[in-house]
């Protein structure tokens, strides 16, 4: 039986560098930064080492009608905004959206983090666990809050799954959507991920000395993937959505095909909760190539996870070097907009698809001086105007828990 | 607190919690078909009664509420009971 092919027919996003893919690409190519400093984070009640973050400046949850908004925290609201944009861009009919063969695969790091903090704050203040609870508290908090709220808001009756695998969440969501269509469990999948900026989550990384704090006074320099001066991540927020469709059906309805998902693989390092494994990272990329039926030399660009942590970047660079050698261009977009956590995989995928179609690579911002330990690789700097010459690109995402996920995108024609 | 004042405070809850206009609120309005509330909203309504008036009407009485007048009556009944208890 012929393998069902999966294409991307729409994308939508809201992120610190823009509220559309066009705006995002303009800012990326213009070498912009969305990283800001909030000096109050150094002081009580925060007490963080970092003051850096990458927030979405303009988003109003009250744009969403009360009846569906009441079960949303910011993370689900951002997901609705991105999905609305993606559905409209895809031109898909309401009948198809509301069909049993349309599903949702949508992730976030761990659900509605601000709602969790609010719940505990009220409960502690009132000295009663029950006092912090409203009827909508759990739907705002739950790990599948984005996926469930999207299903209710857009009235989607098909399969709904949520990957809450931290920084790999949205890449795994895309992968699960891809597999659902390949295996015939769905014909269309709304996939992606979202994240809301919550200081309590920043604190988790801060305690692990995984946040950038050397550049609190020059925020635009704080996120520096693969640089010798990198000192950790800058936490951000946002949401991104892709509309995936079975290729023949998409062609039959005259959809505009942005790209094809050619392969996907996910695995686990199976050795440490937070330390990356070069072997695990190499295996996930190798698995994606096998799934796509491609060889390393077929890949013309690698969009790295590249978060700016000392250990993570070095391990990823070594894994890429072992599998691809030094002739495949590599960059990370986190130098521009920080680490968008549960949304990073999908927003970076939107950028990858745009790079594939424009033929121009966005290089890594703040990479100089390049760390010799993150090589030898063909690193692309943000100042470079390097063209993308080939048909397939790889997108990596890795997460605490040893979770690795890798997608391969191809041209849509 | 007299009935008018109590009803005004109940209306205030409906305006802030359910984002309704004061002009939409009258005693004959059905909570569900006219004002668009559902089962989740009634739970939050009861939580608000506790915060606003310190009352907790029992579930079996709440299940019979249909109109805003029913809500006014229920709040008045339990608020009066509470005041009597406090007076003693």
pTM: predicted TM-score of the whole model, two decimal places: 0.95
Question: How far apart are the C-alpha atoms of A301 and A389, rounded to whole Å?
Answer: 8
DSSP helix/strand/coil, B30? strand
Task: Indicate yes or no: CB of B43 within 8 angstroms of CB of A70.
Answer: no
Whether B32 and chain A come into contact, CB under 8 Å, resolves to: no
User: A with B: how many residue pairs have Cβ under 8 Å apart?
Assistant: 16
Among the partner residues B18, B36, B47, nearest to A134 by beta-carbon distance: B47
Any A CB within 8 A of B27 CB: no
Contact yes or no for B44 and A135 at CB 8 A: yes
Closest by CA to A256, choosing from A349, A390, A357, is A357
Distances (CA, A) of B40 to A27, B9, B60, B66: 43, 21, 16, 15
**CA gap A313, A268 in Å, rounded:** 17
Radius of gyration over alpha carbons of chain B, in Å?
A: 12
- Model confidence at B87, pLDDT cuts 50, 70, 90, reads low
Structural tokens at position B79: 């608020």
> How far apart are the C-alpha atoms of B67 and A275, rounded to whole Å?
59
CA distance B36 to chain A (A): 9
Report the run of H or E that residue B69 belongs to, with start and end. Answer: helix B68-87
pLDDT digits 0-9 by tens, B5-47: 999 999 999 999 999 999 999 999 999 999 999 999 999 999 9
Q: What is the distance in angstroms between the Cα of A134 and the nearest Cα belonging to chain B? A: 6
> Which residues in chain A are closer than 8 Å to B44, comparing Cβ atoms?
134-136
Is B67 strand, coil or helix? Answer: strand
Q: What is the pLDDT of residue B86?
A: 66
Is the minimum CB–CB distance between B18 and chain A shorter than 8 Å? yes
Which residues, other chains included, contact A408 with Cβ-Cβ below 8 Å and sequence gap of 6+? A261, A262, A263, A264, A288, A289, A291, A292, A294, A299, A392, A393, A394, A395
* ipTM score assigned to the predicted complex: 0.85
A135/B36 touch (CB, cutoff 8 Å), yes or no: no
Name the residue with higher pLDDT: B2 or B25. Answer: B25
Task: Provide, as residue numbers in chain B, all residues whose Cβ is less than 8 Å from the Cβ of A71.
Answer: 40
Q: How far is B45 from chain A (nearest CA, A)?
A: 10
Contact B44 A67 (CB under 8 A): no
pLDDT tens digits along B49-77: 998 999 999 988 888 999 999 999 999 99
- Report whether A262 contacts A244 (CB < 8 A): no
How many CA atoms lie within 13 Å of B78's alpha carbon, on the beta-carbon side?
17
The pLDDT tens digits along chain A (413 residues) read 788 999 999 999 999 999 999 999 999 999 999 999 999 999 999 999 999 999 999 899 999 999 999 999 999 999 999 999 999 999 999 999 999 999 999 999 999 999 998 888 888 887 777 777 889 999 999 999 999 999 999 999 999 999 999 999 999 999 999 999 999 999 999 999 999 999 999 999 999 999 999 999 999 999 999 999 999 999 999 999 999 999 999 999 999 999 999 999 999 999 999 999 999 999 999 999 999 999 999 999 999 999 999 999 999 999 999 999 999 999 999 999 999 999 999 999 999 999 999 999 999 999 999 999 998 999 999 999 899 999 999 999 999 999 999 999 999 87
Exposed/middle/buried for residue A156 (C-beta within 10 Å: 0-12, 13-18, 19+): buried
CB contact under 8 A, A70 and B40: yes
Q: Give the nearest partner residue to A135 out of B18, B36, B40, using CB atoms.
A: B40
pLDDT at residue B88, rounded to an integer: 60
B54 Cβ under 8 Å from any chain A Cβ: no
Are B40 and A136 an interchain contact pair (Cβ–Cβ within 8 Å)? yes
Contacts of B41 in chain A (CB under 8 A): 135
What contacts A358, CB < 8 A, 6 or more positions away? A25, A388
Show which residues of A are catalytic: 167, 305, 339
Measure CB to CB from residue A66 to each of B19, B43, B47 and give the nearest one: B19
* Cis preceding linkage at A376, omega within 30: yes
Residues of A at the B interface, defined by Cβ within 8 angstroms: 66-67, 70-71, 134-136
Q: Please give the C-alpha separations between residue A340 and each of A255, A393, B23, in angstroms, as whole numbers.
A: 29, 20, 44
Q: For position A128, what pLDDT does the model report?
A: 74
Q: Specify whether the CB–CB gap between A339 and A307 falls below 8 A.
A: yes
| SS3 track for chain A | CCCCCEEEEEEEEEECCECCHHHHHHHHHCCCCCCEECHHHHCCCCCCCCCEEECCCCCCHHHCCHHHHCCCCHHHHHHHHHHHHHHHHHCCCHHHHCCCCEEEEEECCCCCHHHHHHHHHHHHHHCCCHHHCCCCHHHHHCCCHHHHHHHHHHCCCCCEECCCCHHHHHHHHHHHHHHHHHCCCCCEEEEEEEECCCHHHHHHHHHCCCECCCCCCCHHHCCCCCECCCCCECEECEEEEEEEEEHHHHHHCCCCCCEEEEEEEEEECCCCCCCCCHHHHHHHHHHHHHHHCCCHHHEEEEECCCCCCHHHHHHHHHHHHHHHCCCCEEECCHHHHCECHHHHHHHHHHHHHHHHHHCECCCECCCCCECHHHCCCEECECCCCCECCCCEEEEEEEECCCEEEEEEEEECC
Output the six-digit token pair for A152: 């209710």
Distance from CA of A115 to the nearest CA of B (A): 16
Q: How far is B42 from chain A (nearest CA, A)?
A: 9
Query: Chain A within 8 Å of B86 (Cβ-Cβ)?
Result: no
Look at phi and psi of residue A11 and say left if phi exceeds 0, alpha if psi is from -120 to 50, else beta: beta
């Amino acid at each position: 039986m012929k393998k069902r092919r999966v294409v991307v027919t729409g994308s939508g996003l809201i992120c610190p560098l823009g509220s559309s893919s066009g705006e995002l690409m303009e800012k990326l190519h213009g070498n912009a930064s969305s990283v800001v400093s909030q000096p109050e984070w150094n002081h009580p009640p925060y007490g963080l080492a970092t003051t850096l973050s990458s927030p979405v400046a303009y988003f109003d949850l009250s744009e969403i009608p009360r009846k569906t908004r009441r079960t949303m925290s910011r993370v689900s609201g951002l997901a609705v905004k991105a999905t609305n944009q993606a559905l409209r861009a895809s031109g898909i009919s309401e009948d198809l959206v509301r069909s049993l063969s349309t599903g949702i695969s949508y992730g976030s790091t761990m659900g509605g983090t601000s709602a969790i903090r609010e719940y505990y704050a009220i409960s502690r203040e009132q000295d009663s666990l029950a006092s912090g609870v409203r009827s909508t508290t759990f739907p705002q908090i739950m790990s599948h809050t984005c996926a469930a709220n999207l299903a209710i808001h857009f009235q989607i009756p098909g399969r709904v799954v949520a990957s809450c695998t931290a920084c790999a969440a949205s890449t795994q969501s895309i992968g699960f959507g891809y597999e659902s269509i390949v295996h015939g469990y769905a014909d269309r999948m709304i996939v992606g991920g979202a994240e809301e900026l919550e200081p309590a989550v920043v604190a988790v990384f801060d305690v692990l000395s995984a946040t950038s704090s050397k550049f609190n006074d020059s925020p635009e320099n704080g996120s520096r993937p693969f640089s010798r001066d990198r000192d950790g991540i800058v936490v951000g927020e946002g949401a991104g959505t892709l509309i995936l469709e079975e290729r023949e059906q998409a062609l039959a309805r005259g959809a505009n095909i942005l790209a094809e998902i050619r392969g996907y693989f996910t695995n686990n390092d199976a050795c440490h909760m937070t330390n990356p494994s070069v072997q695990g990272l190499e295996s996930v990329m190798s698995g994606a190539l096998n799934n796509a039926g491609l060889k390393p030399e077929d890949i013309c660009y690698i969009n790295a996870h590249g978060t700016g942590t000392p250990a993570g970047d070095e391990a990823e660079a070594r894994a890429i070097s072992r599998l691809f050698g030094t002739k495949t261009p590599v960059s990370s977009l986190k130098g521009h907009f920080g680490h968008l956590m549960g949304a990073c995989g999908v927003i970076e995928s939107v950028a990858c698809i745009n790079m594939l179609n424009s033929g121009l690579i966005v290089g890594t911002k703040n990479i100089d001086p390049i760390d010799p330990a993150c090589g030898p690789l063909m690193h692309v700097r943000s100042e470079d105007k390097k063209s993308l010459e080939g048909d397939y690109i790889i997108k990596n995402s890795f997460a605490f828990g040893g979770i690795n996920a890798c997608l391969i995108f191809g041209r849509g024609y | 607190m007299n009935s008018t004042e109590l009803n005004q405070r109940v209306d205030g809850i409906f305006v802030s919690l359910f984002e309704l206009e004061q002009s939409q609120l009258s005693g004959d309005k059905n909570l569900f078909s006219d004002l668009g509330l559902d089962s989740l909203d009634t739970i939050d309504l009861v939580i608000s009664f506790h915060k606003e008036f310190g009352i907790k009407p029992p579930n079996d009485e709440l299940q019979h509420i249909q109109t805003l007048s029913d809500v006014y009556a229920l709040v008045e009944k339990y608020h009066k009971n509470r005041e009597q208890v406090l007076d003693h």
